[in-house]
């Protein structure tokens, strides 16, 4: 997984909600074609923003409670958290530039 970290229901609060830097969370599943398609983009963004923002991946099949908690109806869903709150979300496959631009808006 490289620079992106796998997050579960057990680690979500500490890794995402309590993070001192913005966190891009990719809600995905192994069977989801568009999720697999954007995975390299998410990884590239994780590398580009290393130290300035965190990138986390949540497998919705293993963490259904998190998907329900954030109202994830379609995947891939990319949510950006800052200060423990969702500040932006994108649903569906997106290009690397669009993902990076969205995250850039929340990195100080």
Residues annotated as catalytic are: 32, 35
Q: Which residue has the tokens 């796998």?
A: 6
Cis status of the peptide bond prior to 76, with omega within 30 of 0: yes
- The backbone torsions φ and ψ at residue 16, rounded to the nearest 5 degrees and listed phi first, read -110, -60
- Contacting residues for 71 by C-beta, under 8 A, at least 6 apart: none
Helix residue spans in the chain (DSSP H)? 12, 33-48, 64-69, 96-104
């Amino acid at each position: 997984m490289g620079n992106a970290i796998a997050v579960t229901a057990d680690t979500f609060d500490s890794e995402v909600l309590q993070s001192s830097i913005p966190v891009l969370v990719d809600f995905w599943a192994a069977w989801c074609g568009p999720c697999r398609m954007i995975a390299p983009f998410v990884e590239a963004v994780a590398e580009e923003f290393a130290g300035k923002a965190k990138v986390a991946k949540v497998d919705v099949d293993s963490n259904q409670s998190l998907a329900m908690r954030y109202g994830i109806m379609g995947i891939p869903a990319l949510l950006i958290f800052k200060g423990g709150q969702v500040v932006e979300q994108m649903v569906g496959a997106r290009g690397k530039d669009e993902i990076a631009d969205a995250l850039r808006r929340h990195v100080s």
